[in-house]
Chain A
Amino acid sequence: MNALLTVDNLTVRAGADPATRILDGVSLTIHEGEVLALVGESGSGKSMTALALIRLLPAPLVAEAGALTVAGEDLLAAGERRMNAIRGGTIGMLFQQPKRMLDPTATVGAHVAEPLRRFGRLSRAAARRATVELLADVGIPEPRRRARAYAHQLSGGIAQRVMIATALAGQPRLLIADEPTTALDATVEAQILRLIAAKKAELGMSVLFISHDLRVVSAIADRIAVMYAGRIVEQGPAAELLAAPQHPYTRALVECSLLRPDEHGELYAIPGHAGPALSLTAGCRFQPRCAASHAARLEHQCAAAEPELAFSGGGSADHTTRCWVASPQAAPSHAAQPKEQV
């Protein structure tokens, strides 16, 4: 399998200040036809990663990366005109609130036809026919009538199908799906997940699936990367990572997703909350909330330096974890010096 997307050491800062790292050293690889899920709490930097990939970060934020390539093309070197061809072309995008992503003054057909005309160089009439075909293809009933509808006339599920049709119109190699089912109810969620999986298989796309919900992710992902406070803390094959999570944060996420009451009838919640990116220390970012660090009496080590993403001894070789507790063999004296010492 060839790598379709390579992200190496992606860092996003707010302005020139080197201390405000909203994303810090994110490295990802997505192979052809693979679904990589990016999981984490709100504010962990999942969506920021997606925006940085298509180079659409909001104004004060700047991204730096060692490498950023999609389908062999260097996105860091691409000009704005070329980037516009990549957005919607090589990289398709799905969003969380499909209805709010559709222009209220434009018809469904106009949304879908735009990339068709831009990339396929179709005439108006040909684009209209292709639009109806594409709408039918993503499972929208009465596509001819729907093409003339406006966003407010659609349900959330149909609106997301329209967004999928729009994203597929540019024949993308990589589909970035940013919480595409979060705003939908559970039955519709399953249908949309199935549709994305079917289209992925049919068109041989790769998918970067962003979600906070491990249950959703488990249904679609080949591999999972867990993010916490702008860092990838664990990465590995989906089944293995869910069955044997190594990082205390991943374990906590899995525990949360079980919705299993304890003996007092309380649901598990991770104590504390994710700190702001502005107040970063040299240590592990999860350490203030980490029970495992406390139990293993490693607080000093965990607070002093952050470990590298390394093989943690569990399962396959590409299952890596960024944790002192999970990989005790890599004690700081033997380990490579931590990269950042602020």
Chain B
Amino acid sequence: MSLADTPHPAHPVRPGGPVHPGGPAPGAEAAPVAERGTGPRRWPPSLLVGTFLTGAILLVLLLTPWLAPHDPAAQDLAQRLAPPSGSHPLGTDQLGRDVLSRIMDGGRFSVSIAAITLVICAVSGTLIGMVAARRGGALDEFVMRVTDVLLAFPEIIVAMFLVAVLGANYLTLIVALVIGGWTPFARLARSLTLEINARDFIEAARALGCSRRFIVLRHVLPNALSPLLAHAALRFGHKLITVGALSFLGLGVQPPDADWGSMLADGQPYLTQAPGLVVHPGLAIFVTALGVTLIGQGIDTRRKAKEL
């Protein structure tokens, strides 16, 4: 089997060094380049509706001092438990305070506490999860066992315990919610980092000598961002409800301040006489949570559509 003396006529092997030192021929390959996804990206309906709802609620909450029809703390005992009317669109509570004004004012507490805790949870959880995934080994094992332990306790039980020990104030509330709240982000960030780490462009970045910090900040984080954002939006509703539940139990916002949860609790004894006292704050929690959750779903849908 000597190939040397039987060169096939259609021998595709061209012995000899670099035969084509000529310049590249760009034109031939330029034509079939497909341009995809450069047009305006369409937002899925859930993202549109969610953004609209959340935007409207935030706007109202921001403008409450000017928009609220009454002082939320002003009592009018002659008007106790009044049904909806022209001057009190959602009626009054057991002390004759305007329910609409109180819902607008209370929302500022509920939403801002939920948002602050969420941001702290998301940032710290992401950081911890990414570091654990990149370092691996004992650190990773330790972080994951800690999250296991924290996940074993319902967030609200941890919060109740801390509030009982440290006393009810906003700082305690936020600390309590953060302690239980960073773990889902850490787990998600860890699994995303592990997945992204295994992708080819990370190897390419390493082969081109990018530093670890550059790889995490410029390659891992941007690729993990949209699932993390989606998760954060989904968690926001959960946070809002937890804040409401703690206030309902008297462990959150303290009088004379009110938030949606404490309004629910205050209205409970009058459920039969004035159901609006319970229904309206409940609806406020529901609609706000729905709006932000829809944003989360929208981000997720858009991400999945982009990946296809």
Interface set of A (CB-CB < 8 Å, partner B)? 35, 54, 56, 83-89, 92-93, 95, 97, 100-106, 110, 114-115, 118, 138-141, 152-155, 157-158, 161, 163, 166-167, 170, 187-188, 190-191, 193-195, 197-198, 200-201, 214-215, 218-222, 238-240, 242-245, 251, 254-255, 257-260, 291-292
Cβ-neighbour of A242 out of B8, B13, B27 (below 8 A) = B13
A102-B201, A157-B29, A194-B24 in contact; A214/B13 too (CB < 8 A)?
A: yes
Note all chain B residues with C-beta closer than 8 A to A214.
13
- When chains A and B are docked, how far (Å) is the Cα of A163 from the Cα of B28? 19
A2 to chain B, nearest CB (A): 19
- When chains A and B are docked, how far (Å) is the Cα of A87 from the Cα of B35? 32
Note all chain A residues with C-beta closer than 8 A to B18.
35, 197, 200-201, 219-222
Q: Is the CB of B208 within 8 A of A88?
A: yes
- Judge if B149 is at the interface, Cβ distance under 8 Å: no
Closest A residue to B196 using CB positions: A103
A-B contact pairs, 26 of them (CB 8 A): A35-B18, A86-B209, A106-B219, A115-B208, A139-B25, A141-B27, A141-B30, A153-B34, A153-B35, A155-B34, A187-B29, A188-B29, A191-B26, A191-B28, A194-B23, A197-B20, A197-B21, A198-B21, A201-B21, A221-B17, A238-B15, A238-B16, A243-B15, A254-B13, A258-B13, A259-B12
Q: Is the CB of B11 within 8 A of A258?
A: yes
Q: Is the interface of B mostly helix, strand, loop or mixed?
A: loop
Q: Is the CB of A54 within 8 A of B20?
A: no
Q: Is the CB of A153 within 8 A of B37?
A: yes
A87-B209, A102-B201 in contact; A242/B219 too (CB < 8 A)?
A: no
Note all chain A residues with C-beta closer than 8 A to B17.
35, 220-222, 238-239
- When chains A and B are docked, how far (Å) is the Cα of A106 from the Cα of B8? 48
Cβ-neighbour of B24 out of A93, A138, A215 (below 8 A) = A138
Q: Is the CB of B200 within 8 A of A194?
A: no
Closest B residue to A214 using CB positions: B13
A103-B219, A219-B14, A257-B13 in contact; A84/B3 too (CB < 8 A)?
A: no
Interface residues of B in 164-201 (CB under 8 A from A): 199-201
Note all chain B residues with C-beta closer than 8 A to A110.
218
Note all chain A residues with C-beta closer than 8 A to B37.
152-153
Note all chain B residues with C-beta closer than 8 A to A115.
208-209
Q: How many residues of B contact A (CB 8 A)?
A: 51
B245 to chain A, nearest CB (A): 37
Instruction: Knowing that A102-B201, A115-B208, A214-B13 touch, tell me 15 more A-B residue pairs with CB under 8 angstroms.
Output: A56-B203, A84-B209, A92-B208, A93-B207, A105-B225, A106-B218, A106-B222, A110-B218, A139-B25, A152-B36, A191-B28, A194-B24, A198-B20, A238-B16, A258-B3
- When chains A and B are docked, how far (Å) is the Cα of A259 from the Cα of B205? 37
Cβ-neighbour of B29 out of A93, A114, A158, A255 (below 8 A) = A158
- When chains A and B are docked, how far (Å) is the Cα of A230 from the Cα of B134? 31
Interface set of B (CB-CB < 8 Å, partner A)? 1-4, 8, 10-30, 32-38, 199-201, 203-211, 214, 218-219, 222-223, 225
Note all chain A residues with C-beta closer than 8 A to B15.
218, 238-240, 242-243
- When chains A and B are docked, how far (Å) is the Cα of A259 from the Cα of B8? 10
Note all chain B residues with C-beta closer than 8 A to A35.
17-18
A289 to chain B, nearest CB (A): 14
B26 to chain A, nearest CB (A): 4
Note all chain B residues with C-beta closer than 8 A to A158.
29-30, 33
A145 to chain B, nearest CB (A): 10
Closest A residue to B25 using CB positions: A191
A66 to chain B, nearest CB (A): 24
B33 to chain A, nearest CB (A): 5
Closest B residue to A164 using CB positions: B24
Q: Is the CB of A114 within 8 A of B22?
A: no
Cβ-neighbour of A215 out of B13, B203, B205 (below 8 A) = B13
Closest A residue to B23 using CB positions: A198
Closest A residue to B223 using CB positions: A105
Note all chain A residues with C-beta closer than 8 A to B29.
155, 157-158, 187-188, 191
Closest A residue to B27 using CB positions: A141
- When chains A and B are docked, how far (Å) is the Cα of A339 from the Cα of B87? 99
Q: Is the CB of B33 within 8 A of A251?
A: no
Q: Which of A95, A103, A139, A158 has the most CB of B within 10 A?
A: A103
Q: Which of B19, B209, B218, B222 has the most CB of A within 10 A?
A: B209
Note all chain A residues with C-beta closer than 8 A to B219.
103, 105-106
- When chains A and B are docked, how far (Å) is the Cα of A168 from the Cα of B199? 23
A244 to chain B, nearest CB (A): 4
- When chains A and B are docked, how far (Å) is the Cα of A157 from the Cα of B33? 9
Q: Is the CB of A195 within 8 A of B24?
A: yes
Q: Which of B13, B16, B27 has the most CB of A within 10 A?
A: B13
